[in-house]
Amino acid sequence: MGTEGSHEPLIISTKEDNSFGYIKKPSFLLKSTKWVLKIAMWLIFISWASFLFLLPSDPVNNLYKKFVTATNGTLFGVTGSIFLIYSGPVIIIAFHAIIYLKITEGEEIQEKKEKTASFRLWTYPVIIDGPFGVVTAAELIGIVLFGVYIIWAVTAYTITNISLLPLFQVTDAGKRYVILLELTGLRLGFIGLICLAFLFLPVARGSVLLRLIDIPFEHAARYHVWLGHLTMLLFTLHGLFYVIGWAIQGRLIQELIAWKSIGIANLPGVISLVAGLLMWVTSLPPVRRINFELFFYTHQLYVVFIVFLAMHVGDFIFSIVAAGIFLFMLDRFLRFFQSRKTVDILSAKCLPSGTVELVISKPPGLRYNALGWVFIQIRELSWLQWHPFSVSSSPLDGDNHLAVLIKVLGDWTEKLKGRISSVTGDKSVTDSLLQPNFALKASIEGPYGHESPYFLTYENLILVAGGIGISPFLAILSDILHRIRESKPGLPRNILIVWAVKNSDELPLLHSLDINSICPHFYNVLNLEFQTYVTRESEPPLEEGKIPSYASSSKFPAPVGGGMSSLVGTGHTIWSGAYMVVSTIGLVLLVAYLNIFYINPYNITHWWYKGLLFMVCMAASVILFGGFVIVLWHLWDIKTATNVEKNSTISGLGHDESNGYKNPSQEGFVNVIKYGKRPNFEDIFGNMAERWGNVDIGVMVCGPTALQTSIAKECRSKNFKRTSNEPIFHFNSHTFDL
């Protein structure tokens, strides 16, 4: 197939299909319900965010105080009022999101492909080399809004603090300075709590909120990092201002170890801050990159940080941040249950390029996208280490398994490679195939990723990969080919894959996808071109063109209860929604019973103790009420899996049924391999701009940070210099870098 021009699609279908990600035309009632839910969620969010932003102003602050005072006599008291104002909107939006996700599940992608190019804030890179990495226009707006809020809040509270000084009736300048320091520290602590209210939302991997806005966990983790730095800076200044004030007054030690019954308990705050500082320091890039395990293990101190924070501020102040922490607890408890189940690894291969492929059993109903992620733990290698890997197979390759490609780079991956080699008895490792009955087991969390296959919203794609970064793009290509074979409408028509590798022994990875086997006549619909760059070799090796062969078996055997667990936030909308709703109801009931039968009758007034009890109620609601739903979900999962096993058999991975590498025909697409060169993205993007014209081009990159930066710069440059007849390049990064 030639590389010039583009073919019109010859395969067009108008039939309805309920397969994942495609057509299920909703009724008018469902459409109306969806819009009502969307409008309601936006109104709640805007009202909540506006309240938080305007709270430092006197009018809003006075209204807030009046509301709290008016509801103080209720069963839940001040704690209930503050929880309703600060955390209630987040929970209510999450409830709406469950219904919305269920309604839109399996719907056709709503973002239609336009005939002419148009800008999108979330794919337009603006800042490239700043402290935040590659920042899109939408992310920049969020950063600016947070920055404006911090400046506005600090300014407003400083003015308020100065106006309050006469109330203390202190004439000594030194004492007035100390009072101002402590008031400023108090305000900084409150602003830190507002940031903390958002901090845990991005790291609830299967959260309905992330699914609602279609931000995958690997992207949301960046926002957690940004918020973490800001939150810890504010909390550090909060503590520092108090320490300076106490030191000036000569009562530093007494205050640091003070544990008041009524009011703020200082010592729990010190413990919480120390735990937070340890997490913060070890998360800084110089420490994290040198010793990732130190960062990972130290980060488990978040439990100490949160528990002692609750004891430091008491229940009613802690309820400001309760929603985000509660949603994270729900996700963490569910992940704990999913990871308890060991999973059958159907096959494992060590490839010549120093890459391991694992094919993992999964239940048919566990849905994911071609750009999904899973977290893998292999207890024979380590009881503590979890590693994220991109799924290299399409969900259309088969219902009962998924595949991941793992580059051997560190100690854990070296152990995995050695383990596979030891089972097969092949010491060379390079040509080993692990038979399906081997003793290696894995624990899995996930899959996670985009809620919808967003790559299908582009008619024109440029996929840029570095080394093992080709893995998710193999999944994308397989997914598109399957959809072409099934006559799906609205698919990409032009795809350019640019792949940079260090050595030619990585090239066989491309042949793991037998394109012509999946869809022999795809070239009638799709223009596909590969450009491969081997950067450390100046000429082809003598063995070029020879694809290594492996022992083969025609089919993978059915696992015996060893598939992945579907107990994951992204696994089943109804069950995961019921888990959250029942747990929330449980929290309300437990707090109510605690007030009725313990706190009020026994006149419990200790702030730190009530904060601890509130945390216990949160944990108990997740464990008891949420655990009850998890048990029912698990039983339903077993029954469903049993019914499926009776009516189906498990076949091999669609792109590699023989369990070994094939030498696929090159018919239907261009594959150019260049040695001793790096890709010139300015020329590549320029050629595509001339060829495709005034269209949207989805640019996806998976690889090292330097590669992402280069692609983002080129997208920004081309978009800034764009004329009316040229395309807009939409930057999308697919990488997981903590």
User: pLDDT tens-digit profile of 261-272?
Assistant: 999 999 999 999
SS3 363: coil
In-domain check, residue 104: no
Distance separating alpha carbons of residues 58 and 475, to the nearest angstrom: 55
SS3 77: helix
The CATH number linked to 524 is 3.40.50.80
Distance separating alpha carbons of residues 330 and 593, to the nearest angstrom: 21
| Residue 120, C-beta contacts closer than 8 angstroms, at least 6 positions apart | 730
Strands 401-407 and 728-733: unpaired
In-domain check, residue 432: yes
In-domain check, residue 26: no
pLDDT score recorded for residue 10: 35
SS3 625: helix
Give the containing element (helix H, strand E) for 331.
Answer: helix 322-340
Per-residue pLDDT, averaged over 100-111, amounts to 73
Amino acid at 675: Y
Distance separating alpha carbons of residues 474 and 530, to the nearest angstrom: 12
Asked if the bond preceding 447 is cis, omega within 30° of 0, the reply is yes
Distance separating alpha carbons of residues 323 and 321, to the nearest angstrom: 6
The CA–CA distances, whole Å, from 584 to 124, 560, 575, 589, 698 equal 38, 35, 14, 9, 40
Q: What secondary structure does DSSP assign to 176-190, as a single string?
A: HHHHHHHHHHHHHHH
**Range(s) of the domain holding residue 417:** 341-545+659-733
Q: What is the 3-state secondary structure (H, E, C) of 454-504?
A: HHHHCCEEEEEEEHHHHHHHHHHHHHHHHHHHCCCCCCCCEEEEEEEECCH
Buried b (16+ CB within 10 A) or exposed e, 442-461: bbbbbbbbbbbbbbbbbbbb
pLDDT score recorded for residue 643: 66
pLDDT score recorded for residue 645: 57
Round to the nearest angstrom and report the end-to-end CA distance of the chain. 41
Find out whether 28 and 110 touch, Cβ atoms under 8 Å.
Answer: no
pLDDT score recorded for residue 671: 79
In-domain check, residue 516: yes
Per-residue pLDDT, averaged over 578-585, amounts to 97
Find out whether 348 and 357 touch, Cβ atoms under 8 Å.
Answer: yes
Per-residue pLDDT, averaged over 149-166, amounts to 94
Distance separating alpha carbons of residues 460 and 466, to the nearest angstrom: 20
Distance separating alpha carbons of residues 736 and 733, to the nearest angstrom: 9
pTM for the complete prediction?
0.89
User: pLDDT tens-digit profile of 167-198?
Assistant: 888 888 889 999 999 999 999 999 999 999 99
User: pLDDT tens-digit profile of 309-330?
Assistant: 999 999 999 999 999 999 999 9
Find out whether 58 and 158 touch, Cβ atoms under 8 Å.
Answer: no
**pLDDT band (50, 70, 90) for residue 555:** very low
pLDDT score recorded for residue 520: 82
In-domain check, residue 387: yes
Distance separating alpha carbons of residues 736 and 96, to the nearest angstrom: 29
Average pLDDT value over all residues in the chain? 85
Find out whether 299 and 282 touch, Cβ atoms under 8 Å.
Answer: yes
Total domain count, the chain: 1
Residue 38 burial by Cβ neighbours in a 10 Å radius (0-12, 13-18, 19+): middle
In-domain check, residue 694: yes
* Dihedral over alpha carbons 549, 555, 556, 558 (to 10 degrees): -170
**Res 557 pLDDT > 70:** no
Token pair for residue 242?
Answer: 């108090």
With CA atoms as reference, report the closest residue to 192 among 141, 132, 130, 242.
Answer: 242
**pLDDT band (50, 70, 90) for residue 305:** very high
Token pair for residue 94?
Answer: 């999450």
Specify the residue for token string 């159907």. 346
With CA atoms as reference, report the closest residue to 669 among 445, 480, 541.
Answer: 480
Where on the phi/psi map is residue 169: left (φ > 0), alpha (ψ -120 to 50), or beta?
left
Q: Give the sign of the dihedral formed by CA 444, CA 448, CA 454, CA 455.
A: negative
Q: Which of 67-71, 641-645, 688-692 has the highest mean predicted lDDT (pLDDT)? A: 688-692
User: pLDDT tens-digit profile of 672-687?
Assistant: 889 988 999 999 999 9
In-domain check, residue 456: yes
**Where do the DSSP E strands lie in 307-459?**
342-351, 355-361, 373-377, 387-390, 401-407, 432-434, 441-448
Please, how many CA atoms are within 13 Å of residue 665, restricted to the half-sphere of its CB? Answer: 10
SS3 573: helix
Token pair for residue 50?
Answer: 């506006």
The two most distant CA atoms of the chain are separated, in Å, by 89
Distance separating alpha carbons of residues 712 and 718, to the nearest angstrom: 10
Query: Greater confidence, 438 or 609?
Result: 609
Distance separating alpha carbons of residues 164 and 183, to the nearest angstrom: 9
Find out whether 613 and 594 touch, Cβ atoms under 8 Å.
Answer: yes
pLDDT score recorded for residue 355: 85
Per-residue pLDDT, averaged over 74-83, amounts to 92
Asked if the bond preceding 216 is cis, omega within 30° of 0, the reply is no
Q: Which of 235-239, 614-618, 652-656 has the lowest mean pLDDT?
A: 652-656
Amino acid at 14: T
In-domain check, residue 185: no
User: pLDDT tens-digit profile of 210-226?
Assistant: 999 989 888 899 999 99
CB atoms within 10 A of CB 319: 26
Distance separating alpha carbons of residues 379 and 143, to the nearest angstrom: 40
With CA atoms as reference, report the closest residue to 158 among 226, 89, 95, 241.
Answer: 241
Q: Give the sign of the dihedral formed by CA 550, CA 553, CA 554, CA 557.
A: negative
Distance separating alpha carbons of residues 87 and 324, to the nearest angstrom: 8
Specify the residue for token string 């709703």. 581
Distance separating alpha carbons of residues 191 and 239, to the nearest angstrom: 13
**Res 624 pLDDT > 90:** yes
